[in-house]
Structure 1
Amino acid sequence: MPLLPHGAHAPGSVPHALDGHLMLQVKRVDPAPFDDVSPVDGGLVFCGLKAAENKAAVLRDRPFTGPVLIDPSAYEKHVATPDRPFDAGEASLMAADGLEEQLERQRMQGATMAVTPTALLSAGDLASLEAVAERALEISDDDVLLSLPVDARWLRAPHHHDLISMLRQVPLPKALVLCATHDPLSTAEAAANLREVVSSVPGIGLLRSDLAALDAMVHGAGFASIGDSASARHGPTPDRRGPGPRRRDPAVLLPRALSYHYGETIATAFDGAEAPLCPCGACLEWGAANGSADGRRPLTTFTDAVDTHGAHRHNHAVWSALWEWIMRAADEADAKERWQKYCRRALTEIAGLNEAAGRPGRTFGPSAALRVWAGGEPRRGRL
């Protein structure tokens, strides 16, 4: 089946069940703050090779009326080829081919939409991307979400223009997953080009992300998810070496800096200095339970594995509150301005945090993405 004519505008296809939702994405279920997720404008995305199993275990005795997705995460083990763009297995008595079988299985498992088991799309591999698009155009069901796990190097020019051109020709609801060994937005070029992708492809979603989800949402993404752990904030790449052993201390979101830092890093930085305090709902609960003098939790107290659940609750509470504040804007232009102003303020706050810690260097240095979100001009560099 041919694609739409080159340059044709695919209609925005944000599925009603996901429209405007900023969801929590999880890979390890034990520390995840499931009870804090709003069913109204939030949702749950389970990823990893045990995604379906974890979804069943978590929601068996926990009723949840918001959207729930099962990301089969085929991209964690498989790289797409033109002949095999999906890790779909074989046909069975229940379905005409392996892809249909997988999608039907997710429906039976209670997923709000069935997510395609797309393999990793290597940077510049237009043949495999076109194979995904061709097969997607054969799907007529309105409850299917086309997963697009792309190597982050697709965000390097001119690859991102090819990505935009192809995605605009697929009217099926779709979502990007950025895959990289570490931060997929480690350069300003990547952050700026991701913004161009989501603003150029009507209704696209961004899954398995970090605070980039907020920037994507205010610039045209129809829905997004933020991971509760580092492994759920971007996809891995099967052919590239991953991070080292898992740390005991959790990653903590510094609200004033709009960045994640390991708990021990924060504690060490403020050793002998006044610790930053957090007034988010989760930290106020901790303050009340632990007799904190001012009711808030010091951000220097997330230093061990036992603090992981608390850190994940804090992280979720912070970005949820920030998103709620952005969405109280009068219109889309005001929402963009609110987000940009917050990012600009974060650049100033980072300097203040370093000074308060007695470390005027780069302990809490701003990311390249933050500078782009704040309105800085991207400097081109290699991913």
Structure 2
Amino acid sequence: MSPSDQLTTLRPPAVAAAGSKIATRTPAELTKAAALLRGRMLTLTSADAPLLAPLLDVETSGMILTGTSGYEELKPLQRQNPGLLLAMEPISVTKYTATFDKPFRLSTDGLFDQTLAEFLEGQASAGAAITVTPTGFFPAGDADPLKEAVKQANIHGRDDTVLTMPVHPRWLKSESVGQLIAIAQTSIHPVALVVCNSYSDPLDEKGVPAGYRRFFAEVPAAIAWRTDMAGFEAMSQGALAAAIGELPSQRRGIVPGHGPRSSDKSDRSPHVLLPGMLRYARTSAMTRNWFASSAAPSCDCIHCGGRTWDSFTGSPEDKLAAHRHNLGIVTSMFNDMGSLTAESPKAWWRRQLSQAEIEHEALSASTSVKIGLPGPMKAWLRLD
């Protein structure tokens, strides 16, 4: 079923009659945004958007533009890639901390302060298929700004709106995740969860992977946003969609005022998604730490033609080639997940986790270097 067919099937009459405005309290999973996003693996990107967009399937993927130039880039991208779902991520996701009085980052430069409805209308007018709220970062411990964001989005949002929810990892720990889920469940819009840590994997903290799994199992129409291979974890638990970042800084939330930072700013080599291992690794680090005395494995994906994992340099051509490789591996995994018949998504994902652990052990043995399964993957494997 195409997204347009899904929209016709899933959108209730009261919402369809109201156009883009939500006239009644529609369940989040039945909105226009949910119908358009259901079952998609999205790509978050910026400068490489024109080069990566032609590689995306219009039926099962989509592109989210980050940064400040989305309004100018959206319509040219639409003309060049008809039918591709396109949207913009507001910079508030990485630049603004929410408060109770102002959970959204809205302009105050005009004669009158910008409203949430006006902000969302601006995205729609620029050609976005879905509108995305300019929500700020929610530090741990204070639920009032979270509640207020949901309340205001419920009142002023549209049928095509996604409510972004950038949170501190502690919101996903056992003592807080129940409250986070309860607040998210009150949203009449799909909720895009962004877990934030400027300097490392925000899910690589004790208790957080379990809360992440629970969130997507219990919140209807939730989206894993600014994520990596954890997007597959979310979708295996019932997430509406996932949005995987092209760059490391787009694969996690950023705490406003804190990064991101690089340990070596002179190292421009790309991060490559390693087939079967459920992890990204910087090519220079692989050469230095893993393959100093042995050859790296080669990749037979449709973009690589047998080149080795660590052969991508920091040149613009090689960085683009690495991004194409990464997108190709994600697409292959997603197609595999989508073609399931007898096996459930949960069982499929557990098999990926188990195989990834075996692949790490084999690589460790062949290189004589201990290479451990990433913490979140290990936690999810042990939870089953």
TM-score (norm 1): 0.85
Counterparts of 1:68 and 1:43, CA distance in 2: 6
For residue 115 of structure 1, report the CA deviation from its aligned partner: 0.6
* Residue of structure 1 in register with 2:292 after alignment: 271
Gaps of 5+ in 1: 1-8, 285-295, 379-383
Q: Aligned partners of 1:164 and 1:139: how far apart in 2? A: 21
Matched with 2:351 is 341
Matched, 1:34 2:41: no
Cα distance in 2 for residues equivalent to 1:215 and 1:239: 29
Match of residue 322, structure 1, among 310, 316, 333? 333
Deviation, 1:66, is 2.2
Residues 85 and 131 of structure 1 are in contact (CA less than 8 Å); yes or no, is this contact kept in structure 2?
A: yes
Residue 327 of structure 1: how far off its partner (Å): 1.5
* 1:217 lines up with 2:238 in the alignment: no
SS in 2 for 1:137: helix
Q: Could you say if the C-alpha distance between residues 71 and 256 of structure 1 is closer, same or farther in structure 2, counting changes exceeding 3 Å?
A: same
Q: 1:281 maps to what in 2?
A: 302
Per the alignment, do residues 138 and 84 of structure 1 end up closer, same or farther by CA in structure 2, a change over 3 Å counting? same
Q: Give the aligned partner of residue 168 of structure 1.
A: 185
* In structure 2, distance between residues paired with 1:29 and 1:204: 27
Question: Which of 253, 265, 268 is the equivalent residue of 1:248?
Answer: 268
| Shift in alpha-carbon separation, 1:263–1:140, aligned structure 2, 3 A | closer
Tell me, in whole angstroms, the C-alpha distance in 1 between the residues paired with 2:49 and 2:216: 32
- The structure in which a higher percent of residues are helix is 2
Taking the aligned partners of 1:222 and 1:344, their CA distance within structure 2 comes to: 24
> Is 1:108 paired with 2:128?
no
2:197 aligned with 1:197, yes or no? no
User: Against the structure 1 CA distance between its residues 247 and 50, is the aligned structure 2 distance closer, same or farther, given a 3 Å change threshold?
Assistant: farther
Against the structure 1 CA distance between its residues 50 and 11, is the aligned structure 2 distance closer, same or farther, given a 3 Å change threshold? Answer: closer
Deviation (angstroms), 1:197: 0.5
Residue 112 of structure 2 corresponds to residue 124 of structure 1:
no
- Aligned-partner Cα distance in 2 for 1:11–1:303: 44
Q: Following TM superposition, by how much is the alpha carbon of 1:135 offset from its aligned partner in structure 2, in angstroms? A: 0.5
Aligned to 1:370: 377
Contact 2:135/2:166 (<8 A) preserved: yes
Matched residue type, 1:234: R
1:108 and 1:251 map into 2 onto residues whose CA distance is 35
Instruction: Point out which structure has higher relative CO (alpha carbons under 8 A, 6+ apart).
Output: 1
Question: What is the Cα deviation at residue 51 of structure 1?
Answer: 3.3
How is 1:303-314 mapped onto 2 (pairs within 5 angstroms)?
Answer: 303-306=313-316, 307-314=318-325
Total equivalences in the alignment? 353
- Does 2:281 align with 1:261? yes
In structure 2, C-alpha distance between the alignment counterparts of 1:180 and 1:56, rounded to whole Å: 32
Match of 1:71 in 2: 89
Alpha-carbon distance change, 61 to 205 in structure 1, aligned in 2, over 3 angstroms: same
SS of 1:49's equivalent? Answer: coil
Equivalence for 2:21? none
Alpha-carbon distance between aligned partners in 1 of 2:225 and 2:129, rounded to the nearest angstrom: 15
Identity %: 28
SS in 1 for 2:121: helix
Distance apart, 1:117 and its partner CA: 0.7
